[in-house]
Structure formats: structure tokens, C-alpha cells
């Protein structure tokens, strides 16, 4: 790609969700409450799982890591959004923009891989119960979690390198409230067709591939337990139902956003709120409300703290 002579952009201007002051205050309050719920809810799950010996199964081990990822994921965008909503000059340095893009995809794709691992955990527990302890041993769980982080890093570094090789020399206004692939790539001073297809293949296919694997695993679980719905299997199905809710909140908006070249449809910044803020906020509610063991452990932790 011929870059030519150009003056490189040093900062981007984030337009945010609205330019009306009253709406900005409303969005600030909403984001602040959502971020507080993400932090408090997921921290509560981590502390509960780590302090209660009865929650030592692989499912809760993976759940605590999901809560940690949700905290990291929302923290990539929420603090800067909250500051920007109170300031008139909503600028972000070029290096800060690229860093935000990197960590957003690093943590986000790691969460997708971890949800896939959690679906595999449920499939093994329900469909291969006699081999469950051997397959999902603690060492294997740590290896799977490490693989999720490694896969997220590889995905994100590819995305970031594709962005860094583009020249940015003209407009610097981003029609979003954070730096992401679609709104930033439109600002490049070059033909980005090939880069857009590469990024759609990278982010979009990862989202779609993980989603299809998850759907297939739940279909296999339903097929397996259809003929023998004992009380234990109803409990397993209830757990799977909570996973399906998380999957829907995270994957469907991501597939809509990333599985297409940047120029086919405008990026919807309101859709981005679903998977950057709403999904991490709902995870603690979904898992605690549908898990009797977690709720009982939280009650014991509360009584212990009051004693």
C-alpha cells in the first residue's frame, strides 16, 4: 500500500452517544450505575467462589474467571466514557486509541473463548459424567483458561497491527464513544477494502465460530437429556439456560457488528452498548439468580462479614 507523504493524526475526537447536555447527563448516570453493578456484582462472585470450598467445581472456577474478564472488559471503555461525558473536549490520543482497541479485542475475544469452554464443561458434565472429573481436572481447567487468553491475544494483536499499518492523515472524528475497528477504519487515508475484509474474517468469523460451537453443544445436551429429565438434569438444563442468555447478549450484537466489511452498514454505537456494558452487567444477575449454590454461599459470606 502506497502511503505517500502525510501528516499523521495525533488524536481522535470521540463524538459519544449524544451532543445534548441533558442526554449526556442521563447517559453518565446510566453508565455509572451499570459500571458500578459490573464491578460490585462480578467482584462478589469472585470473592464468593474463592472463599467457599463448596464452590470448587470446574463450573464455578470458570465462572470466577468469567467475572474477572467482565470487569476487565468493561473497564476498557467505561471509565473513559464517564470522563468524556462530563467534558466538552472528548479527545483521545492516537496511541491511547490503539491501546483501547487492542485491549477491547484482547479481553472480548478471550471472553468468547471462555464461554465456549464453559459450554464444553456443561456438555462434559451432562453427557459424559463418568469421565467428567478426569477431563475437567484442575490442571486442565487452568490450561483451558490460559488458552483462552492466548487466543484472545493472538486475535487482538492481528487486529491492532492491521490498524497500525493504515495511514491516518485527514479527518479525526470518531462517530462512537470508544475506539473500535469499524469507526476508526473509516478515517484512514487509503483504500481499506482488503483490510476491512481481513478484519471481518478475523473478528466476525471468531464470533460466528464460537457461537455455532456453543449452539451445537447445547443442542447435543438437549438431545442427550430429552429422554431422561430427572431432577439433576433439570438443574443442568437450568444452568445451560443461563449460559444461553449470556451467549445471546454477547454474540448476536458482535456478529451483527463485525461479520461484514466496514462500508456495508454504518456502525451502530447503541448496539455496542449491549456487548460492552449491558452483557457484563447482566452476567452476575443471571448466574446468581439461577444458581442456588451461589446464592447460599453469598448468604453465608454475608453472615460471616456481619459476625
- Domain map of the chain by residue range? 11-300
3 state DSSP class of 175? coil
Does the pLDDT of residue 155 top 90, yes or no? yes
CB-based burial label for 211 (10 Å; 0-12, 13-18, 19+): buried
128 and 135 Cβ atoms separated by less than 8 Å: yes
- In angstroms, the Cα distances linking 306 to 37, 55, 302 are 22, 21, 6
- In angstroms, the Cα distances linking 36 to 43, 44, 214, 275, 286 are 10, 12, 29, 16, 16
Please state the rounded mean pLDDT for residues 62-82.
91
What integer pLDDT is reported at residue 259 of this predicted model?
78
User: For cell 488524536, what's the residue?
Assistant: 11
φ, ψ of residue 12 in degrees (nearest 5): -115, 150
pLDDT digits (tens, 9 = 90+) for 230-279: 555 566 666 667 677 778 888 888 888 887 655 544 556 778 888 888 88
Which of 32-36, 82-86, 215-219, 229-233 is least confident? 229-233
What integer pLDDT is reported at residue 74 of this predicted model?
92
Please state the rounded mean pLDDT for residues 63-75.
92
Q: Which residues of 254-276 are buried (b: 16+ CB within 10 A; e: fewer)?
A: bbbbbbbbbeeeebebeebbbbb
Which of 37-46, 120-129, 172-181, 258-267 is least confident? 258-267
Does the pLDDT of residue 129 top 80, yes or no? yes
Which spans in 128-167 are helix H? Answer: 132-135, 138-164
Cα separation, 156 vs 108, whole angstroms: 9
- ∠ CA 47-53-54, nearest 5°, is 105
Position with higher pLDDT, 244 vs 162:
162
Task: Give the global pTM.
Answer: 0.87
Q: Write the CATH number of the domain with boundaries 11-300.
A: 1.20.1070.10
What integer pLDDT is reported at residue 240 of this predicted model?
67
Cα separation, 185 vs 167, whole angstroms: 10
Please state the rounded mean pLDDT for residues 34-51.
90
Which of 97-101, 170-174, 233-237 is least confident? 233-237
Q: Residues 6 or more apart from 53 whose CB is under 8 A from it? A: none
What integer pLDDT is reported at residue 142 of this predicted model?
95
Cα separation, 96 vs 179, whole angstroms: 9
What integer pLDDT is reported at residue 4 of this predicted model?
46
Does the pLDDT of residue 3 top 50, yes or no? no
Amino acid at each position: 500500500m502506497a502511503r505517500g507523504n502525510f501528516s499523521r493524526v495525533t488524536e481522535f475526537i470521540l463524538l459519544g452517544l449524544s451532543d445534548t447536555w441533558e442526554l449526556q447527563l442521563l447517559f453518565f448516570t446510566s453508565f455509572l450505575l451499570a459500571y458500578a453493578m459490573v464491578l460490585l456484582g462480578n467482584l462478589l462472585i469472585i470473592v464468593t467462589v474463592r472463599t467457599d470450598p463448596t464452590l470448587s467445581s470446574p463450573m464455578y472456577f470458570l465462572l470466577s474467571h468469567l467475572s474477572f474478564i467482565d470487569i476487565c472488559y468493561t473497564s476498557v471503555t467505561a471509565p473513559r466514557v464517564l470522563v468524556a461525558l462530563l467534558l466538552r473536549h472528548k479527545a483521545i490520543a492516537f496511541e491511547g486509541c490503539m491501546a483501547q482497541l487492542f485491549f477491547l479485542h484482547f479481553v472480548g475475544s478471550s471472553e468468547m473463548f471462555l464461554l465456549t469452554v464453559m459450554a464444553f464443561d456443561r456438555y462434559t458434565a451432562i453427557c459424559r459424567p463418568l469421565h467428567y472429573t478426569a477431563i475437567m481436572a484442575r490442571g486442565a481447567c487452568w490450561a483451558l483458561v490460559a488458552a483462552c487468553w492466548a487466543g484472545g491475544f493472538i486475535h487482538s494483536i492481528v487486529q491492532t497491527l492491521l490498524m497500525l499499518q493504515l495511514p491516518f492523515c485527514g479527518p479525526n472524528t470518531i462517530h462512537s464513544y470508544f475506539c473500535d475497528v469499524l469507526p476508526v477504519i473509516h478515517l484512514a487515508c487509503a483504500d481499506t477494502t482488503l483490510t476491512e475484509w481481513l478484519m471481518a474474517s478475523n473478528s466476525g468469523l471468531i464470533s460466528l465460530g464460537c457461537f455455532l460451537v456453543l449452539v451445537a453443544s447445547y443442542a447435543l445436551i438437549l438431545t442427550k437429556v430429552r429422554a431422561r429429565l430427572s431432577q439433576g438434569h433439570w438443574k443442568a438444563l437450568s444452568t445451560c439456560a443461563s449460559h444461553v442468555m449470556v451467549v445471546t447478549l454477547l454474540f448476536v450484537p458482535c456478529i451483527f457488528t463485525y461479520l461484514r466489511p466496514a462500508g456495508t452498514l454504518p456502525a451502530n454505537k447503541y448496539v455496542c452498548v449491549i456487548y460492552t456494558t449491558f452483557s457484563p452487567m447482566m452476567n452476575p444477575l443471571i448466574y446468581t439468580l439461577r444458581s442456588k449454590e451461589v446464592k447460599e454461599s453469598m448468604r453465608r459470606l454475608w453472615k460471616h462479614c456481619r459476625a
